[in-house]
Amino acid sequence: NLTGVDDELENPGIPSESDEAESSSRVMWGQPPSAVRRSEAPLHHRRQPKFTRKLSLPLPMLDAKVFLKLLQLDLNAHPPGAPIVKIHLSAEPARPRSAQGGLFLPPSPEPEKLELTLARIAGIVGEQKVGAVELLDTHHPEGFRMRRFVAEVARKTPQKKTPDVAEAQAAVTALRRFRPPLLANVRL
């Protein structure tokens, strides 16, 4: 049940009474604020039983405006087939990420802004065409696929690597493809 959503959309900077009560109870009990990592929104129609959309975020986020914009972009990309009667929103809580900013400039774009930009691009060109290229272990000439961007999880304890393992991980496979194919002469 999304009671008060219209007020939050029109006045996004004004917290509701339930938000104030929840934040004060978290401060009183010493709990950190929880962030959202994954969300599910089943939308109920008059004629159809249920239409469900799931959002998986690359990093936990606290910004409700960014989350709402991601939900709007997802619904624009995948519109429901009938008018919506009811929305039930559930979110999976996660610990908020801790990030240290640079002294003069941020070291990289904020993950929330990057996720919004990727969602906008996916709405224009399609979800299958946005992401990181992953090479497949095949001899097929078009042996690659697009995978979703995910944040790398930092390891807490550094692991010692043998020289062979470190050298194998540092090796990079390069592939250059010419279209249309060019004739190549190889001499040994």
- Integer Cα distance of 141 and 132 in angstroms: 18
Inside any domain, residue 147:
no
Tell me what pLDDT residue 83 has. Answer: 80
Q: What's the domain range around 23?
A: 1-33
Inside any domain, residue 77:
no
| Domain count along the chain | 1
**What digits encode the pLDDT tens for the residues 112-145?**
788 888 889 988 988 888 888 888 888 777 788 8
**What digits encode the pLDDT tens for the residues 3-52?**
444 444 444 443 444 444 444 334 333 444 456 666 666 666 666 677 88
- Integer Cα distance of 38 and 91 in angstroms: 6
**What digits encode the pLDDT tens for the residues 48-94?**
677 888 887 777 878 888 888 888 888 888 888 778 778 888 888 88
Inside any domain, residue 19:
yes
Tell me what pLDDT residue 40 has. Answer: 66
Please give the single-letter amino acid code of residue 35.
A
- Integer Cα distance of 79 and 160 in angstroms: 50
- Integer Cα distance of 128 and 146 in angstroms: 7
Closest CA to 69 of 109, 119, 110: 119
Inside any domain, residue 26:
yes
